Structure formats: C-alpha cells, structure tokens
Amino acid sequence: MCAICDGHARNPITCIVPPHMLEVLAIRGSKKTAAMARSLLDQTRKVRHERAEFRTGRAMLEEAGAMGGFVSTALSRAATQSNLDRAIHDGEGKAGLPGKLLRKEGDPASGDAAVDEAYDGAGNVYRLYFEAFSRDSLDGNGMKLVQTVHHRRNYNNAFWNGEQMVYGDGDGEIFQKFTELSVIGHEMSHGVVQFSGGLLYEGQSGALNESFADVFGALTVQRKLGLEAHETDWLVGKGILGPDIRGVALRSMKAPGTAYSDALLGQDPQPYHMDFFVNTTGDSGGVHINSGVPNHAFYLFAQYLGGKAWEKPGTIWYQTMQRLNNPVATFAQWAAQTVEVAIGLHGAGSLEVLFLKRAWKLVGLPV
C-alpha cells in the first residue's frame, strides 16, 4: 500500500516509494514539499478506494480452497512461445488510467524518454521471466503489459494497481522520473506475485512480497547489463532521488539501511538482520522496511555462489514463489521453502544448499 496504513489490507496498490518517506516529507518538508507529500498520501488513499475489489492473498486462499488447488498457470506449464505485447500510454499529467495510447508493440521509438524507457524496460522484464523461468508474462498466460507514464503532475511515485503499471515524472527536486529499470522490474514483479498465488500485503508476507519485487527488479537490471553478482551494486531505485537528496537509491540489498541518509528524508530504516526487525503498524506492518532482511539473504546467497544471480539464485526464488502455496507465509516459512527447492534442484549435500543455509543463518533465520 502506498498511503498510511488505515487498517485495510485490501486493494494493495503496491508503490515504489514507501509511505514512511512521504510521512517524513509531510512533517519535515518545506511548505511546498509538505503539501506535495500530504496530497500524495491523500491521492494514493483515494486511488485505493476508487479501485474495484482486489483479490488479496486471503481472498485467493479462500478461492483456491474452493477450487481445491493452488497451482498457478505458470507452474502447470512452461511457456515455449513469446507473446510479448506492450502498450504504453501517456497520462498527460492527469489522474485517469490508462490515458492516451502512445506506443504499442512493434512501434518505433516515440521520442518521449519516459514512454521509451517504459517500453524497453517492460521488454527486459518480460524477457527475464520468459527466457530464465519460461513464464509468459505476469500471469503466465501472455497478459498484455499496460503502462502509463506522465501520471498526474509532479507525481512522486510509481505503482502496480493490480492491472497495470503507472509512473509519475517526480517533482524534479526530491524525486526524478520513475521509469528506471529496477523500478519497472519491481512493479511488474508485484504482478507476478499476484498471479502466483499472492502474498498478503501485510507484515512478514507483505515484506516478502516487497522483497520478491526488489529481487526481480535488481535481477532485471543485472541481466540486461550482463553483470555477475559481484559486479553489480544491488540498488533498487537508483537515480530516482532528486539532485539535492543525499542518497543513492531507495533501497540497498547489499547494505540495507544505507541507501540514503538525508537531512530531509532521514535515514534509510531497513534492517539487514532479524535482530533489528522493525515492529510497526505503519507501512502495512513495515512491508518496505523489513523486506531488507530477505533482500539481504538473497544478496548473500548470490554473492557466495558467484556468477549470474538470475540463474541459480533467481530460479530458486522464482520456484519458491510458485510452490509456496501460502499467501500468509512468514520469513522462516519462505526460507525453509527456498531450501527445499534448492535441495530438489541441486541435492541436499550441494554447495548451493550449503551457501543458501549460510545466507539465511547470517540474517538470523537459520533453516
């Protein structure tokens, strides 16, 4: 959820900028910045209410129970044919979605940087899932990738609303335009979570949802650039902070808690270990905060193993999402499932399993 947690876990509009950052700006910002933050918190709250009922993890659980199974489309068959189909719309600074269609699949570059970044970025994310995990789009069934750029005026956020991706241009001071590849990968991966059985957007399962989105956002960048685990910076939202903000990104998987340290924004609050787990009722139970713990476990595992992180580590995390069968999973349950998947793929005595267990142990989640 983008806005302040109001006790409703339904309609999870999953945003890249966490509410704790906006709340700080609403209190500490200049008159103009505080007004922007308040209006953004209000807008995002309104977006939630405008939306049709959203299938939450719990609703999916009930539905799946009624259907007698939880196997996702993607898990039941591997995609062999690419059905990449993108549609990029121009929001024209307004709130309506999806806005005016500016570039559809196969069209040449539009000349609008945000449109073309969203088009290319969605292609990179699609190819990561299709080529590395045989998944055909977010739903595993060739779903059209609809994106809107230039959403509202000076809009300081990007989100997945359950049906499409939406990006603001930022106000140019605190945030710049949001069509950055790790952000695109993050938002689209919320779609993958949703169509893979879901993770309730609250508490630890919500933080796992956020972490999955961060991991696959980072993997999209690494795969596009052909970088191995030790060659990459493991930052999410790099370059979207404005020129006057002291920080490099929204989050760091390598060193959670160090992405920014700014007079206005304060200190990045992410923990890297369960000892520093943040118990809070804000941010849907700290979904954007405690995601630092599973994020760091993935980083450690990829680093121990070396090589391309989207290959073995990415496959284990992806398959864990497909097999989890538990929308209210805790960190410990997720960790145990990754180990089970790794044993199935590489064998109980393998280096992969040894390194994976070591990574979980180092963040305070021994399996």
The residues annotated as belonging to the active site are 187, 288
Size of the residue set binding Zn ion (CB under 5 A): 2
Bridge-based pairing of strands 86-90 and 145-149 is parallel
Could you tell me which stretch among 14-22, 139-147, 174-182, 216-224 binds Zn ion (CB under 5 A)? Answer: 14-22
Cβ 28 to Zn ion, closest distance in Å?
23
CB 167 within 8 A of CB 114: yes
CA–CA dist 146, 166 (Å, integer): 9
Do 300 and 288 meet the contact criterion of CB atoms below 8 Å apart? no
DSSP per-residue codes, 81-104: S----EEEEE-TTSS-SS-EEEEE
59 within 8 A of 327, measured Cβ to Cβ: no
Element (H, E) at 361: helix 351-362
Closest to Zn ion by CB, 8 vs 77, is 8
3-state helix, strand, coil in the chain (%, to 5): 45, 10, 45
Q: Compute the least distance from the CB of residue 191 to Zn ion, in Å.
A: 11
Rounded to whole angstroms, how far apart are CA atoms 349 and 335? 17
What letter does residue 53 receive in the DSSP assignment? P
The residue with its CB nearest to Zn ion is 14
Nearer to Zn ion, 14 or 161 (CB): 14
Is 213 a residue that touches Zn ion (CB under 5 A)? yes
Instruction: Give min distance, CB of 343 to Zn ion, in A.
Output: 30
Q: Which stretch binds Zn ion (CB under 5 A): 101-109, 213-221, 274-282, 349-357?
A: 213-221
Q: Is 14 in the site for Zn ion (CB under 5 A)?
A: yes
Query: Nearest approach, Cβ of 192 to Zn ion (angstroms)?
Result: 12
Contact between residue 175 and residue 17 where contact means Cβ atoms under 8 Å apart: yes
CB nearer to Zn ion: pick between 118 and 353 = 118
- Which x/- pattern, by CB under 5 A, does the window 162-201 give for Zn ion? ----------------------------------------
When the beta carbons of 14 and 205 are compared against Zn ion, the nearer one is 14
Of 83-112, which residues contact Zn ion (CB under 5 A)? none
Spatial contact of 252 and 259, defined as CB atoms under 8 Å apart = yes
Near Zn ion by CB under 5 A, which window of 10-18, 65-73, 192-200, 327-335? 10-18
* Residue 205 sits in the site that holds Zn ion (CB under 5 A): no
Report the residue number, 213 or 324, with the smaller CB distance to Zn ion.
213
How many Cβ atoms are within 10 Å of 358's Cβ, its own excluded? 14
Contacts of 2 (CB under 8 A, 6+ apart): 13, 14, 15, 17, 19, 22, 40, 41, 44, 47, 48, 157, 159
Stretch that binds Zn ion, among 6-14, 32-40, 48-56, 133-141 (CB under 5 A): 6-14
Does residue number 341 form part of the binding site for Zn ion (CB under 5 A)?
no
CB of 265 to Zn ion, least distance (A): 18
Of 31-39, 207-215, 274-282, 353-361, which segment contacts Zn ion by CB under 5 A? 207-215
Nearer to Zn ion, 9 or 213 (CB): 213
Cα 161 from Cα 201, distance rounded (Å): 13
Cβ closest to Zn ion, residue 14 vs residue 270: 14
- Closest distance between Zn ion and the C-beta of residue 16, in Å? 6
3-state class (DSSP) for residue 235: strand
Residue 11 engages Zn ion in binding (rule: CB under 5 A)? no
Residue 138 in tokens? 């977010």
Sign of CA dihedral 219, 60, 341, 134: negative
What separation in angstroms does the CA of 24 have from each of 18, 240, 272? Answer: 11, 18, 22
Residues in contact with Zn ion by CB under 5 A are 14, 213
